[in-house]
Amino acid sequence: MTVAMRPPTSACPACSAAPAAEALAEAALPKDINIVLSLPSIHCAACISGVERILANVDGVKGARVNLTLKRAQVDAAPDLTAEELVGVLERAGYEAHELDTTALRATETDKAGRDLLMRLAVSGFAMMNIMLLSVAVWSGADGPTRDMFHWISAAIALPTIAFSAQPFFKHAWTALRAGRLNMDVPISLAIALAVATSLWETSLSGEHAYFDAAITLTFFLLAGRYLDHRTRSAARSAAEELAALEVPRVSRITDDGQEEQIAMSALVVGDLIRVRPGGRMPVDGEIVDGQSELDRSLLTGETRPIYAGPGAIVSAGEVNLTGPLTIRANAVGRDTSLHRMADLVAIAESGRSRYTSLADKAAKLYAPGVHILSALAFVGWYLYTFDLRTALNIAAAVLIITCPCALGLAVPAVTTAASGRLFRKGLLIKDATALERMAQVDTVVFDKTGTLTDGAPEVINLGDHARRDLGVALSLSEGSSHPLSRSLAKAIRDAGVAAEPVTQITEIPGHGTEGQWKGQTVRLGRSAWVGGGESAETCAWLRIGDRVADPFRFADQIRDGAEALVAQLKSDGYEVVLMSGDTTQAVETFAQRLGIAKWIAEALPEEKASKIAQLTEEGKRVLMVGDGLNDTAALAGAHASISPATALDAARVASDVVLLGKSLEPIADALLTSRVAIKRIRQNFTIATWYNIIAVPLAVAGLCSPLIAALAMSSSSITVSLNALRLK
């Protein structure tokens, strides 16, 4: 099945709005995409060109395009070329790659809403400048036919502009009225419509005043607020969809005669035997019936230490087979797997968070009815007082314009945009418009351990305990293994300047370690039980040379930069700090003591993490969850607010409100401080808007403000609100 993928939205909305650029981007895509690869390790333009060049050199590839934002490669390949072959080519070149099921992917949508708003804003701004020039001529003393001509020219510019630019307000207002409710767009639409209607009436009667400039200025400022709000609400895809994308699209099933056949994941049934090769991801929940290997369960448990698995061991979808081929009997497939159950947890958590009501929404609920009632009363009162429909309409329009919620509409997005800019410069990306409001309410911070408070990579801590010659032997053996501990050990020894010893006949024994010959002796590096090592509470790789007693290489998680300072700052600021990890009890307890965290939870499964967040919430806590793994995704989505590092799994980043772009954790403390200041500024903006209305509304009701003066007053309040928001910078 072919899926048409559209190019990612440009960082510049004006560029993404250009039809020519969009057409060129579409033309650059392969026309018949039949393979989509996930490339989680790519991070720059050099990676893009490297991957595209490698794929282009493969026989049978007609075209390939890499999307850095989605970390995907879309390949137009010959029918006989499989995704497995392309994955192998990329992995040999040093790029991690996985096939994605094209039937599970949605076409990437460009930011149509943002582009549309920006285009309407530009049109209204251009028209406003032209009408203002005509208005200056009228204000300067133009009279009689000349004034009427300028008014009709203004009408010719304003009417089509407002009909086009104000459409979002008209549509939303009509939708609300049809549903029998009021929203902010109803008074906005009425104010614009009344200003235009009054101006046309005045112009047709050769009246002295017309308010086309007021109507178009109102439209421009409101669109500016709406666009700012849209930018802060740029939505990512659902985290539940990201989890579903981790599902393996095709599997190797073993037939009754012992042969392997490639079938679609959807064709698999419980009881089928599946072959999973080293480096492959488990497609189902099941039991190992043949083979032995080590499994990377970090996505599910956060545990970085690989787990030995042999016949009889239970495996879960999403785990990665590291060292040896395995035959699995499927016990749960499709929606019954642990991966899908986790996706369901995330979806439930996301729907719960979506019920959060922002300050702006609360203000709109109270504000909109009051505006309509006040304007209607002003109209009725003045009509009964003067029996002059023209005067009553003018005053009603002035009341609607002067009370137009432009300042309220800007109060939140102006602050969140300023705060987002400040935090971005400090290395934090705000993804959700209400994130700052929710972070300001936080009183409890829950941390994951592995990959969040630690770098996620094991570090050798006792290299100096070993003789240089032994290190050379260990280097040769570790370089012959794909095990994470071996890779870490090899790097540490090479960084120490030690040369490899001439070990021969190196063989990796899946699930155990590596073995070789050195100076007539058998040397081994691996698990304690296989090498003949002792007991240790720490993570170890044991080295035995000949008949000597095995010596351990001890590993520990390296504390992430800024973690100690962050925990100390949070405790000083009065936050309750909790450590929650899927790692072993002893490892979590030791690590909590290192950081001075009194409350900790170990061996927590994904559903237990989500349950603990829910429990804290029921106790009245406002929880900030900081995590990076697949096992943290449901907890991230269920917390009151959440942060994940940029190195986190895609699903975790999508589920979180804030992404930490740098390596240091220290900016998290600044994010909490900035959120509190931002809410203070938002409340100040609401106060400014309220006092503005208290002063201006009586003047409008008393007939002392024309619609034009009302529009200028409204603009002044909007500018004041925006300037107050900029104080955050």
Q: Of the listed 76, 111, 285, 448, which one is catalytic?
A: 448
Spatial distance between the Cα atoms of 628 and 624, rounded to a whole number of angstroms: 13
Q: 641-645 and 623-626 as β-strands: parallel, antiparallel, unpaired?
A: parallel
Cα(first)–Cα(last) distance of the chain, in Å?
49
| Alpha helices, DSSP H, located in 182-233 | 185-204, 212-232
**Coil vs helix vs strand at 143:** coil
Give me the residues paired with residue 327 across strands: 275, 290
Nearest to 232 by CA among 417, 422, 9, 11: 417
Tokens 């002059």 — which residue? 388
What interhelical angle do 389-402 and 707-726 show, nearest 10?
A: 0
Q: Which residues contact 534 (CB under 8 A, 6 or more apart)?
A: 528, 550, 552
Please identify which residue in the block is written with the tokens 């012992």: 258
Q: Is 346 helix (H, G, I), strand (E, B) or coil?
A: helix
> Is residue 215 within 8 Å of residue 613, measured between CB atoms?
no
CA distance 709 to 714: 8
| Contact in structure between 525 and 513 (CB atoms under 8 Å) | yes
Token duo for residue 180:
């029998």
Phi and psi angles of residue 491, each rounded to the nearest 5 degrees, phi first? -65, -45
**What's the farthest any 2 CA atoms get from each other in the chain?**
114
HSE-CB of 46 using CA atoms within 13 angstroms: 0
Report the 10 Å Cβ neighbour count for 135: 22
448 catalytically annotated: yes
**Distance between CA 320 and CA 297 in Å, rounded?**
7
Element housing 623 (H / E): strand 623-626
Q: Is the dihedral of CA 491, 493, 496, 497 positive or negative?
A: negative
Q: How many angstroms separate the CA atoms of 254 and 261, rounded?
A: 6
The tokens of 176 are what?
């609300």
> Which DSSP letter does residue 338 get?
H
Distances (CA, A) of 293 to 248, 313, 527: 20, 11, 12
Tokens coding 64 = 């390939």
Return the residue matching tokens 């329009």.
Answer: 397
Helix (H) or strand (E) run with residue 652 in it: helix 650-655
Q: What are phi and psi of 74, to 5 degrees?
A: -110, 120
The Cα 435–Cα 658 span in angstroms is: 8
What 3-state class would DSSP assign to 125? helix
Q: Taking each helix axis from N to C terminus, what angle separates 185-204 and 144-165, rounded to the nearest 10 degrees? A: 150
Contact in structure between 580 and 600 (CB atoms under 8 Å): yes
Question: For the chain, what percentages of helix, strand and coil (3-state, to nearest 5) are there?
Answer: 50, 15, 30
Structure token pair of residue 155: 């009408």
Helical H runs in 605-649? 606-618, 633-638
* Cβ neighbours for 692, distance < 8 A, ≥ 6 positions apart: 407, 713, 717, 720
Residues 646, 40: Cα–Cα separation, whole Å: 12
Cβ within 8 Å of residue 505, ≥6 positions away? 516, 517
Residues belonging to the active site: 448
